[in-house]
Chain A
Amino acid sequence: MAKDIVAVIGAAQTKFKTHYADKTYIELAQDAAKLAMDEAGVTPDEIDAVVFSMAPTQFMGVNDCDRWATSHVWGAGKPYMRIHAGGATGGSALQAGYVHIASGVYRTVLVVGADRVAETPDAQHILNLIWDRFYEHDFALNTVTMTALAAQRYMARYGATEEQFARVVVRGRKNAMGNPYAHLKGAITVDDVMNSPRVAYPYKRFDICPRSSGAAAVVLSNLDVAKQKCARPAFVNGVSAITHSVFMGDRMGVYSETEFADHDGEHIAAYEAYRQAGITDPASQIQVAELYDPFSTFQFPIVEGLGFCGRGRAAAISDEGGWDMVGGQVAVNPSGGTLCTNPIGVTGLVRIVDAANQIMGKAGQNQLPGVHNAVATAAGGSTQFFTVTMLGDDHVAPRTNV
């Protein structure tokens, strides 16, 4: 419980696609900023500070591109900082915006970002450069091969199959059909996934997210502003981020505090966020989960880590429809999730936008009834940076009022 209450009063995203030939990077960011401010009913003059969400700038080719975007997101002359945590950037940026307000320093903050991942001919080459230059560059290690290793370990531990992962893709693409902003969508079958070209075992092409371009933004405010501007804000009731060692081998085995295959950092972050938000039984208290799952194999360990079921149970529950948007015990990725849309520098923020809009009743065709609590996650680095953000339709008491 923080000092001041923080709420999302406006959340927006652009459409996502591979290339935007008709807009520059800064125009994309501006589009999202304007959409979010319009949703919040605030003008740029009412924004006290800006947090910019951007992961490696090598994808789009302008170093520290947040500086270029300053004026276009109405940040010139204002407190302005950029947050970067790899794939977890959007979640971390939201949490940075949160502390701007929770600390009592500012009243209204715009969190905004954009990415153009496909600007580089080969994102995986850039993602090879995240590794240690002396020991790991030459291993052809990138985010695909890295996470494939974790998936193999998960399969070995719990018996999950490629077909079960394929069902995650089918469900995501189907959900995305109701999301006008999603990059990939459509009715596909398990066979379609299984027959797509092999990339790195157990991945086929359809198991892997696209390289997306687009932008997202959120307007955060304190309780006073939220009361004036928003009939149904999404309160930020819990925030947590956990960082792990970059070395995957140090996250498994008898001497490890955590288990690499289980995305354990996410579990630690989730239960801290739940503690702050007063969530004691996540499976019954949380209606929507927007997960950072750029690969089909991420979803099972994440929902287990979030406490929606026991370890090794998620695949079977998935087969029974337990994570379906309609009729599931928790609606997992009603937006289609990261498998369908991955603008890396803002993906975590897109998760927040989609989760907040479910709380605020603004999720359009995919709006679910009775959403009181939603959780949004993000992950980055060598699946080592984990953020978990709890959103609710009511706020928990601030510490100063306890």
Chain B
Amino acid sequence: MDVFVIGQAVHKPAARIGDKRLEELVFDTTHAALADAGVKRAQIDHVTIAGCDELDGRSISSMLLAAPAGAQLRDEMKCTDSGLTGLCLEAMRLEAEIFDLGLLVSWSKPSTAPLEDVMRMRCEPFYTRPVGLNMAITDGLFAQAAGAKYGFDEFDADEAVLDSYRRAGRNPRGMGHAVPHVEAIATSPYVATPLRQAHQAPITDGAVAMVVASARWLKSNPRAKPLARVSGIGWRNEEYDLGADRLAGLSGFRATLDDALKMAGVKSTADLDLLELDSQTGFHELAYRAVLNGHAPKAISTSGGAFAQNPYFCTGLINAAEAILQLSDQAGPIQIPGAKRAVAHGSHGFAQQGNVAVVLERV
């Protein structure tokens, strides 16, 4: 696959971005991405949007947000799974050779739509909704199942969270959360055994936009400097129903990585300089690392991942933006010298029903 990110912008995160309407948040981020790429909106021939109506609190949120995302009188398509799924769709749109230069825009402002209320309504009405299933409970079930399978417990999760906060604390683009004391994590209230409140990555508001170009466009615009090449994409959904195998098997995570690496011609995750994981809890971080055991990349979640910022719907795309900064030597104090190849991971749905992976390479 030969698709190139030539510019990007990540909005400054906050627990609540209260001084902007969602339209302004999206416009400002899109505008900054175009400026970073050095192109005008007039040059854009298509736009891919990744957004979630329910999290936006609107029935068709792209009605008001397509224009701020640059899509006025442009060919526009919207997926609703996750921000990183949007990058996969955008990459295919360019690879199909019907477009040359596109915008990918994703946002999430959960401060205006309580996440657990939205998630509870994801339950089907017959069995899981009446018993009160929600995201915290599914993550708790995941923690139980994965812990039993891979041999970790909540004390390990305490340490995993602590480590994530330490990495996040070094990322100047993150929230700058104070690194908590391990006892504060270990004594925070249970939300669904063994998951404690402090095991969960704090939810934030945010937005991210990228300008993405075809190889053909780059050839005809030699002055443009690509930040990174998208060389492989993968995304898979697992079953909606939660059984032990579904929860702990992580087959979607494995298959998604395999798909993306295979497309990029990469043999193993061990050949990566960086893997930015979308770990919504300390248990997720432990489980993903357990799957990678023996094939670990040189670095994992240098940015701090969701513990740096966590605009839930587009956290995976933020991971991609962080990986791109590494590959273009713009990661600042957390720069990995000479990083050549990275994977951004995203997840979505109850107990990571969906997984997404994108292989990015230095140009």
A-to-B contact residues, CB < 8 Å = 1-4, 24, 26, 55-58, 61-64, 66-71, 75-86, 92, 95-96, 98-100, 102-105, 126-127, 129-133, 239-246, 257-258, 265, 268-269, 272, 276, 380-382, 384-385, 399-400
Give the residue name and chain of the B residue nearest to A50 (CB): B237
Q: Which 7 A-B pairs have the closest CB atoms?
A: A103-B95, A102-B96, A80-B237, A243-B76, A103-B92, A63-B121, A56-B59
B60-A56 in contact (CB<8A) = yes
Tell whether B183 is near chain A: CB-to-CB under 8 Å: no
Tell whether B239 is near chain A: CB-to-CB under 8 Å: yes
Instruction: Find B60's partner among A66, A98, A130 (CB 8 Å cutoff).
Output: A130
Give the residue name and chain of the A residue nearest to B98 (CB): A2
With A69-B240, A241-B77, A243-B71 given, can you name 13 additional A-B contacts, CB distance below 8 Å? A2-B97, A56-B53, A63-B119, A80-B354, A84-B80, A86-B60, A100-B92, A102-B97, A105-B92, A242-B76, A243-B67, A265-B73, A399-B97
Tell whether B255 is near chain A: CB-to-CB under 8 Å: yes
* Distance, CA A400 to CA B76, complexed state (A): 24
Most chain B Cβ neighbours within 10 Å, of A95, A99, A131, A272: A99
B53-A84 in contact (CB<8A) = yes
* Distance, CA A249 to CA B97, complexed state (A): 35
Tell whether B200 is near chain A: CB-to-CB under 8 Å: no
B58-A129 in contact (CB<8A) = yes
Instruction: Find B79's partner among A57, A63, A83 (CB 8 Å cutoff).
Output: A83
* Distance, CA A298 to CA B329, complexed state (A): 53
B125-A67 in contact (CB<8A) = no
* Distance, CA A246 to CA B73, complexed state (A): 11
Report B-chain residues with C-beta under 8 Å of the C-beta of A132.
Answer: 64
B98-A102 in contact (CB<8A) = yes
A70-B239 in contact (CB<8A) = yes
Known: A2-B97, A79-B234, A79-B235. A99 touches B89 (CB 8 A): yes
Q: Shortest distance in angstroms between A103's beta carbon and chain B's nearest beta carbon?
A: 4
B73-A243 in contact (CB<8A) = yes
Report A-chain residues with C-beta under 8 Å of the C-beta of B234.
Answer: 79
B74-A67 in contact (CB<8A) = no
Known: A80-B354, A242-B74. A62 touches B121 (CB 8 A): yes
B89-A105 in contact (CB<8A) = no
Q: Shortest distance in angstroms between A245's beta carbon and chain B's nearest beta carbon?
A: 5
Instruction: Find B74's partner among A79, A243, A257 (CB 8 Å cutoff).
Output: A243
B59-A126 in contact (CB<8A) = yes
Known: A80-B237, A242-B75, A243-B47. A63 touches B118 (CB 8 A): yes
* Distance, CA A172 to CA B333, complexed state (A): 65
Tell whether B198 is near chain A: CB-to-CB under 8 Å: no
* Distance, CA A257 to CA B67, complexed state (A): 14
A57-B54 in contact (CB<8A) = yes
Report A-chain residues with C-beta under 8 Å of the C-beta of B241.
Answer: 71
Report B-chain residues with C-beta under 8 Å of the C-beta of A58.
Answer: 53, 59
* Distance, CA A58 to CA B81, complexed state (A): 16
B81-A381 in contact (CB<8A) = no
Q: Shortest distance in angstroms between B34's beta carbon and chain A's nearest beta carbon?
A: 17
Report B-chain residues with C-beta under 8 Å of the C-beta of A246.
Answer: 63-64, 66-67
List, sorted by A's number, 22 A–B pairs whose CB atoms are closer than 8 Å: A2-B96, A2-B97, A57-B54, A62-B122, A67-B349, A67-B353, A77-B236, A77-B237, A77-B251, A78-B237, A82-B80, A84-B53, A84-B80, A85-B76, A85-B77, A99-B93, A105-B95, A241-B76, A243-B62, A245-B72, A381-B63, A400-B97
Known: A2-B96, A130-B59, A241-B76. A81 touches B235 (CB 8 A): yes
* Distance, CA A68 to CA B47, complexed state (A): 28
Q: Shortest distance in angstroms between A302's beta carbon and chain B's nearest beta carbon?
A: 18
* Distance, CA A53 to CA B75, complexed state (A): 18
Report B-chain residues with C-beta under 8 Å of the C-beta of A71.
Answer: 239-241
Known: A79-B259, A86-B60. A99 touches B96 (CB 8 A): yes
Give the residue name and chain of the B residue nearest to A55 (CB): B60
Tell whether B140 is near chain A: CB-to-CB under 8 Å: no
Q: Shortest distance in angstroms between B247's beta carbon and chain A's nearest beta carbon?
A: 14
Q: Shortest distance in angstroms between B77's beta carbon and chain A's nearest beta carbon?
A: 6
Instruction: Find B240's partner among A1, A68, A81, A265 (CB 8 Å cutoff).
Output: A68
Report B-chain residues with C-beta under 8 Å of the C-beta of A400.
Answer: 97
Report B-chain residues with C-beta under 8 Å of the C-beta of A258.
Answer: 73
Report A-chain residues with C-beta under 8 Å of the C-beta of B24.
Answer: none
Q: Shortest distance in angstroms between A362's beta carbon and chain B's nearest beta carbon?
A: 27
Report A-chain residues with C-beta under 8 Å of the C-beta of B121.
Answer: 61-63
Instruction: Find A85's partner among B78, B89, B349, B353 (CB 8 Å cutoff).
Output: B78
* Distance, CA A257 to CA B350, complexed state (A): 44
Give the residue name and chain of the A residue nearest to B126 (CB): A24
Report A-chain residues with C-beta under 8 Å of the C-beta of B263.
Answer: 105
Q: Shortest distance in angstroms between B4's beta carbon and chain A's nearest beta carbon?
A: 15
Report A-chain residues with C-beta under 8 Å of the C-beta of B80.
Answer: 64, 66, 82-84
Q: Shortest distance in angstroms between B136's beta carbon and chain A's nearest beta carbon?
A: 16
B233-A105 in contact (CB<8A) = yes
B85-A86 in contact (CB<8A) = no
Q: Shortest distance in angstroms between B252's beta carbon and chain A's nearest beta carbon?
A: 7
Report B-chain residues with C-beta under 8 Å of the C-beta of A239.
Answer: 98
Report B-chain residues with C-beta under 8 Å of the C-beta of A131.
Answer: 63
Report A-chain residues with C-beta under 8 Å of the C-beta of B64.
Answer: 132, 246
Q: Shortest distance in angstroms between A130's beta carbon and chain B's nearest beta carbon?
A: 4
B59-A76 in contact (CB<8A) = no
Q: Which of B160-204 contact A (CB under 8 A)?
A: none
A67-B237 in contact (CB<8A) = yes
Report A-chain residues with C-beta under 8 Å of the C-beta of B96.
Answer: 2-4, 98-99, 102-103
* Distance, CA A126 to CA B60, complexed state (A): 10
Instruction: Find B125's partner among A61, A78, A384 (CB 8 Å cutoff).
Output: A61
* Distance, CA A70 to CA B235, complexed state (A): 14
A76-B63 in contact (CB<8A) = no
Tell whether B238 is near chain A: CB-to-CB under 8 Å: yes
* Distance, CA A92 to CA B60, complexed state (A): 14
Give the residue name and chain of the B residue nearest to A268 (CB): B73
Q: Shortest distance in angstroms between A6's beta carbon and chain B's nearest beta carbon?
A: 9
Known: A67-B349, A381-B62. A244 touches B72 (CB 8 A): yes
Report A-chain residues with C-beta under 8 Å of the C-beta of B255.
Answer: 77
A78-B240 in contact (CB<8A) = no
B53-A57 in contact (CB<8A) = yes
Instruction: Find A80's partner among B60, B91, B95, B235 (CB 8 Å cutoff).
Output: B235
B252-A81 in contact (CB<8A) = no
Q: Shortest distance in angstroms between B30's beta carbon and chain A's nearest beta carbon?
A: 14
Tell whether B124 is near chain A: CB-to-CB under 8 Å: yes
A240-B75 in contact (CB<8A) = yes
Tell whether B52 is near chain A: CB-to-CB under 8 Å: yes
A244-B59 in contact (CB<8A) = no
Tell whether B264 is near chain A: CB-to-CB under 8 Å: no
B85-A81 in contact (CB<8A) = yes
Q: Shortest distance in angstroms between A224's beta carbon and chain B's nearest beta carbon?
A: 17
Instruction: Find B75's partner among A63, A104, A241 (CB 8 Å cutoff).
Output: A241
Tell whether B296 is near chain A: CB-to-CB under 8 Å: no
Q: Shortest distance in angstroms between A268's beta carbon and chain B's nearest beta carbon?
A: 7
